[in-house]
Structure 1
Amino acid sequence: MFNRRQVAGFAVAAFFAVSSVGSFVSAAQAQEKVTVFAAASLKNALDSINAAWKATSGKEATISYAASSALAKQIESGAPADVFVSADLDWMNYLKDKKLIKTDTEVQLLANRIVLVAPADAAVTADIKKDFDLAGLLKGGKLAMGNVDSVPAGKYGRDALEHLGVWKSVSGNVAQAENVRAALALVATGEAPLGIVYETDAVAEKKVKVVGVFPDNSHDPIIYPAAQTAEAKSADAGAFLDYLKTAEAKTLFEAQGFTVLPAAAK
């Protein structure tokens, strides 16, 4: 017969055995789920597409949203992403140069535009052209933008303002945010009277309105590439990337204001 101490020892051992098996199963299940690192401006569209993919396939992606620059640096540092969707070509090329992307899987997926936004109840309009009076429109307030050195939307915005000859007049009044959605929030909450964001961000936020659209020739084309990472582990990475190119995904992207590029159409 076992004494009470022996029985208790068996119970503890059994508990840790079951716990270890549970942890192993959880880790295995987590590995099977595709992990996507995507630009913050894609959140509404990709959340909808992920739900549609789950309804179609029974599978679901884990999606992390942030500035493309931050995500690229995380991948460079070894973060376990299977798919990367960038808001510009620069950060995809950054990872390609370091051989951290499967180049044969890359697709130029989407196009976008940058716009000037204000709080929805603001009485302001802008005729965006050479030497327009952006400083006068700000009236001493801040211009919300993504970080102009690293965040794609911020870089496009600064390039456009430089091309139009107005960057110097407002550069001292720029509130630089960690990503474009953070810049959008500054305008939506009234902390900044104006901001430069993607057109799709303006569609996603009802508390702002578009007061002007930047000419396409004032900045480089806004292209969103997508690709599998070199260290992709999930067997579903390719399937999720393929789903982004389907007619169903195209409809959901377009509902958020994106332009689906011909190379991505299936």
Structure 2
Amino acid sequence: MAVLTDVYELNNGITIPKIGFGTWQIPDGKIAYESTLTALKEGYRHIDTAMAYGNEASVGRAIRDFGIARENVFVTSKLPPAIKGHDEALTAFNETLSALNIGYVDLYLIHAPWPSNEIGQNFDTENIATWEALEEIYKSGKARAIGVSNFTVHDLKNLLKHTDVVPAVNQIQYYVGFTEPKITTFTKAHNILIEAYSPLATGDVLHSTELTQLANNYNVTVPQLALRYCIQTGVLPLPKATSQAHIAENKALDFLISTIDMERLNVCQDTAPSHFHNATQG
């Protein structure tokens, strides 16, 4: 059974809690600070942020104020999509370290293979140079692991062909009905952990009649069912919430979806067809 104390082992041997607290779209300041602090009080030991989220300072302050030993919380941040290149990546990483003010990060990711206003364009050469900077950061000990986000099979092959360190993680859009099978298969085959951002499709899964009926059978909520599904497929979900009730609800995943119901969920139609989909991930 997966609970907050359970972990996955990354391909470099370090462990990462199976459930993370996502902070995408949580504004900097009081809301980000209090949400992160609440998550830590509820027992979360894996916090995911990014420079592009604009809330690293508040997340870092919450971690410091909570008073937890640094080694007992796993913190991820990300290089903004628009920043490419060796020196540029090093500069941005140092800014992240300064904003978080927690000494080091446990995981540092390239947020996307392309700038957000150039989705789908080829940045192979730039990604190689950027990854070489992340390798330096990793070897310095300022990041205990490095990885990527939104990388397709092509983007992953590009790194694997030209660089030394295999990414530990690929963080992609992943939820019931949209599981990126080509990327998922390739990523897992290379012992790269998949993290699911928007595992609840930004709340759109709540509108699925099929998931509602199935959740009722287990006496759980639709979000709990969707998050448990991720874990049983070997994926690490990063649910985001700001209320204490939802933060607590999202960690209560100590139940098991049957094999028959997992098969049903595996062939489920997109539970959020109107939700934004990154076409390059297909």
Give the TM-score, by structure 1 length.
0.26
* Higher gyration radius (CA): 1
Q: Normalised by the size of structure 2, how large is the TM-score?
A: 0.25
Instruction: Return the structure number with greater strand share.
Output: 1
